[in-house]
Amino acid sequence: MTAKIPQKLEDLPSSEPRWVGKDVKRIEDPKLVTGLADFIENLQMPGMLHCAILRSPHPHALIKSVDASEALKHPGVSAVLTGEDVLKWTNPAMTVPDGWGVYCLATDKARFVGEPVAAVAAISRSVAEDALELIEVEYEPLPAVADAKKALEEGAPLIFEDKGSNVIHKRLFTWGEVDQAFADADHVISDSFRWNRLGANPTETFGVVSQWDLLENSVTCRGAFQSSSHFALGRAATFGLPSNRVRIISHPHGGSFGGKGGARGTDIAALLSRKADGRPVKWIEDRMEYLIAGGGQSWDRFYEASLAVNADGTMTGFKVKLLDDIGATGEGFGAISAAKPLAVFTGNYTIGAAQYDMTLVATNRLPQSPYRGMGPPPHYFVLESLVDSAARQLGMDVSEIRRKNYIQPDQFPYIIPSGNEYDSGNYEACLDKVLDMADYQALREEQAKAQEAGRLVGISVVNAIEPGVFDWNAYSAVGMPGVGVPEGVTISVDVMGSITVRVGFSLEGQGQYTLAAQLLADYFGVEMDQIRVVHADTASAPPHFGPGGSRLGVALTGAILGAAKKLEDKFLAVAAGLMQTEAANMEMVDGWLRIKGVPDAEMPMAAVAGTMLARSDLLPPGMEPCPEATSVWTAPGRAEPDEEGRCKSYLTAANACHVIMVEVDRDTGMVEILKYFVVDDCGTRLNPGNVEGMLHGAIAQGIGAALLEEYVYDENAQPLVSTFMDYLMPTINDVPDTQSAAMVTPSPFSPLGAKGCGENAIHLTPAGIICAINDALAPLGVAAKEIPASPNRLWELIQSADYPQDK
């Protein structure tokens, strides 16, 4: 049975919340920022070996032979792993869609540069790397598929021969009378767009210590795991072990953003441990491994899209044709980020009909992995760019065309054509607030002056929905099974009244341990430092998923409040017994159990918990001496999708509006962000400072996406990016001071009315910067349609303009 949990802040058993909703300093940060958290690289275990991985230098090559005999003889080497071993001991990786997985080491052929081919465990990483040089691999290079368009060409080399084609998934969704909408429209705005590969780059790469217990035939993996239980299932499938024979112990990690990856490294280390008589084997991914072959590459998309618009600016239809390069295999679950835009397909608008024609292909690039935002950021780049084009064509202001098409506050809950339901919002108020803050009129005047002086200055006004709290059903469009994503916690109170909560995820930087402590401190009327939050590994944690899909803040709140409520009910029953009354006459407020309406008839929660553990003689009949409760939360009302993929997938719909002013240097194509304004609405802000942190980090990532970050491959699928000299992350010099403000429209459906906000501005910043650039370029009659808008690309655009140069 699920517990009835507070839906609003006022419903908490607290006369006045002291922590929830307040700007509380994060309890986990001192450890993370001083490096004193037990990051995996800090872990030393007796007898531990170090792994290094030999990787394919070829994008596509048959492996004729692997000779590791010299490596095995090298002093200090304990074990060498090759394709032969993995064929004997493992299964290919599970993928979505099914059947596009390979073994953790290439066995018959290598499909991307950096694919592991062999591995060594030795007394140190240095020795292991020395030994790699002694392994001889005979390759027979094959012609490579360099990008998504080439994958579809007649006679293209096949990444998986048995599939007969490089198409991983193809599906056409039609929602509503879309052809009619386009036939009836006064204008159809069409364009092509290109979003180049980029992705997560956490401070810490992936790392793991795997150990095979030879007697029990079980595996224990300690490492920087984002979703432990999910990861455990994957390992069990790979190793052919019962799922309870894999134990995943997640360590604090230095960020993830979806990029931790790590499946192959974990498996390789585990198998090396098996070969090395069960000694623990550590593998720490280095930055070059990460950039070439890690979990950091996402969204490699070609788009063709059209918007149906009437003369008055009303948008009636939206068609998107997507070609996405998933990479050499499906192991990184890249396909699901092509499905996620279903949750927000038509953005903030009342567009009534839509179509999504998706083709996902395999190439010889690195398999895609998740990245913060998980798919909609490129989709919004397309949608918002087309909305701006429509405004330009109709001579409307970009803010007015948006205003005209907003879903109105009284229309919520609102079901969009692609099936998801938006819970609540007030988009027009959000727009007005940011326009006001930016002094939009004055900005436009400033722009006009700059343009008169020959400068290329542009302004954008863009908006987006952030789908919050994912459900597996959101990804059914690409074959993901399941409905419901559980998140569980166990709360225990000890005999002294101290409270410990066990959660299934480790520190990653988002501040959820703080949130757990805030909630419990208010629920039981104690100070925050009386709450201890600890990580439980997969052998002891309640069902959980962890961070991902902008869900954990909401899901964790649900679980904490559910468990707290169960505990409260126990305490009420025990206290009622002690005070010789019925539980129905009792209440708990600020941590005191009291008889309603009777002054001074009260006792503190700690005393009740202590009684439960130390005085069984005083307990009501049938009450176990267990001041502990577990609750597992999942979003209510989720169901399987219909035949057009429609379902309520994401529980909440936060929204934001950004106003951005940029200048493009006409001579160099370089972009400077002059001003940046944001108003966002993610419902109840459980810890406003934390939300701000999410916002600013996501803006930085969005700027990286819009202007800097790109995994470049050459025409033979060789990666040209292998260090941070090539892959440019934004630094403090590239991220402007942002002015931000909040609106609060609580969700009617989520615990305490909070909406998912962890992915945040990455949805909107790339679109916003490109739209501002295009506003700046508009006088030249050119527009950027490729991300990132590098200076070289913008310079080429400016060159192509029919406009006097070098003035």
Partner 1 sequence: MKPAPFDYVVPETAEEAVSCLQKYEDDGIEATVLAGGQSFVPLLNMRMARPDVVVDLRKLKTLKYIREEDGVIAIGAMTTKREVEESELIQQRQPLFHASTLEIGHLQIRSRGTVGGSMAQADPAAEYPAVALALGMEMKILGTDGERIVPADEFFITYLTTEIDSTELLTEVRVPVLAEGTGWSFQELARRHGDFAIVGGAVTLRLDGGVCTDPHIVLFGVGATPVRMTAAESAISGQAPSAELFAQAGEQGAAELESPMADVHASAEYRRHLAKVIIKRCLLEATERAGGSVS
- Residues of the shown chain interacting with partner 1 in the complex, contacts defined by CB under 8 A: 125-126, 129-130, 133, 286-288, 667-670, 708, 710, 712, 720-721, 723, 725-726, 728, 730-731, 733-734, 790-792, 795-796, 806
Report, in Å, the least distance between residue 777 CB and partner 1: 17
Looking at beta carbons only, is 177 or 786 nearer to partner 1?
Answer: 786
Query: DSSP label at 12?
Result: S
Report, in Å, the least distance between residue 721 CB and partner 1: 6
Report, in Å, the least distance between residue 248 CB and partner 1: 26
Bridge partners, residue 655, by sequence: 465, 681
Secondary element (H or E) of residue 521: helix 512-524
Looking at beta carbons only, is 285 or 681 nearer to partner 1?
Answer: 285
Looking at beta carbons only, is 132 or 609 nearer to partner 1?
Answer: 132
Report, in Å, the least distance between residue 286 CB and partner 1: 4
Token pair belonging to 21: 């909703």
Phi and psi at 618, nearest 5°, equal -100, 0
Report, in Å, the least distance between residue 205 CB and partner 1: 11
Report, in Å, the least distance between residue 198 CB and partner 1: 13
Token pair belonging to 382: 């397309």
Q: How many residues does the chain have?
A: 807
Contact 96, 330 (CB under 8 A): yes
Looking at beta carbons only, is 70 or 286 nearer to partner 1?
Answer: 286
Token pair belonging to 741: 């403000």
HEC readout, 360-402: EECCCCCCCCCCCCCCHHHHHHHHHHHHHHHHHHHCCCHHHHH
Looking at beta carbons only, is 757 or 782 nearer to partner 1?
Answer: 782
> How many C-beta neighbours within 10 Å does residue 221 have?
29
Bridge partners, residue 248, by sequence: 221
| Cβ within 8 Å of residue 386, ≥6 positions away | 189, 191, 305, 306, 307, 318
Contact 354, 345 (CB under 8 A): yes
Looking at beta carbons only, is 338 or 721 nearer to partner 1?
Answer: 721
Looking at beta carbons only, is 97 or 791 nearer to partner 1?
Answer: 791
Of 631, 574, 628, 580, nearest to 604 by C-alpha is: 574
Report, in Å, the least distance between residue 266 CB and partner 1: 20
> What gap in Å lies between CA 563 and CA 567, rounded to an integer?
6
> What gap in Å lies between CA 77 and CA 119, rounded to an integer?
11
Report, in Å, the least distance between residue 788 CB and partner 1: 10
Token pair belonging to 579: 């005070």
Looking at beta carbons only, is 295 or 549 nearer to partner 1?
Answer: 295
3-state secondary structure (DSSP) of residue 355: strand
> What gap in Å lies between CA 674 and CA 447, rounded to an integer?
11
Report, in Å, the least distance between residue 806 CB and partner 1: 6
Looking at beta carbons only, is 288 or 437 nearer to partner 1?
Answer: 288
Token pair belonging to 560: 């904490």
Burial status of residue 806 (CB atoms within 10 A of its CB: 0-12, 13-18, 19 or more): exposed
Looking at beta carbons only, is 262 or 467 nearer to partner 1?
Answer: 262
Looking at beta carbons only, is 89 or 676 nearer to partner 1?
Answer: 676
Looking at beta carbons only, is 88 or 807 nearer to partner 1?
Answer: 807
Report, in Å, the least distance between residue 362 CB and partner 1: 24
Query: DSSP label at 25?
Result: P
- Unique residue bearing structure tokens 């899901």: 555
> What gap in Å lies between CA 654 and CA 681, rounded to an integer?
6
Report, in Å, the least distance between residue 713 CB and partner 1: 10
3-state secondary structure (DSSP) of residue 570: helix
Bridge partners, residue 116, by sequence: 55
Report, in Å, the least distance between residue 734 CB and partner 1: 6
Report, in Å, the least distance between residue 666 CB and partner 1: 10
> What gap in Å lies between CA 115 and CA 103, rounded to an integer?
10
What is the amino acid identity at position 739?
Q
> What gap in Å lies between CA 546 and CA 488, rounded to an integer?
9
Report, in Å, the least distance between residue 61 CB and partner 1: 22
Contact 76, 125 (CB under 8 A): no
Of 210, 201, 54, nearest to 132 by C-alpha is: 54
Looking at beta carbons only, is 133 or 140 nearer to partner 1?
Answer: 133
Report, in Å, the least distance between residue 138 CB and partner 1: 22
Phi and psi at 189, nearest 5°, equal -105, 120
What is the amino acid identity at position 591?
G
> What gap in Å lies between CA 260 and CA 372, rounded to an integer?
12
Looking at beta carbons only, is 65 or 792 nearer to partner 1?
Answer: 792
Report, in Å, the least distance between residue 417 CB and partner 1: 40
> What gap in Å lies between CA 131 and CA 126, rounded to an integer?
9
Contact 215, 294 (CB under 8 A): no
Looking at beta carbons only, is 133 or 184 nearer to partner 1?
Answer: 133
Looking at beta carbons only, is 415 or 712 nearer to partner 1?
Answer: 712
Looking at beta carbons only, is 129 or 397 nearer to partner 1?
Answer: 129
What is the amino acid identity at position 758?
G
Burial status of residue 274 (CB atoms within 10 A of its CB: 0-12, 13-18, 19 or more): buried
> What gap in Å lies between CA 691 and CA 9, rounded to an integer?
17
Report, in Å, the least distance between residue 732 CB and partner 1: 9
Of 209, 50, 27, 216, nearest to 120 by C-alpha is: 50
Looking at beta carbons only, is 624 or 796 nearer to partner 1?
Answer: 796
Report, in Å, the least distance between residue 102 CB and partner 1: 25
Of 152, 67, 142, 88, nearest to 111 by C-alpha is: 142
**Strands 456-468 vs 586-589: parallel, antiparallel or unpaired:** unpaired
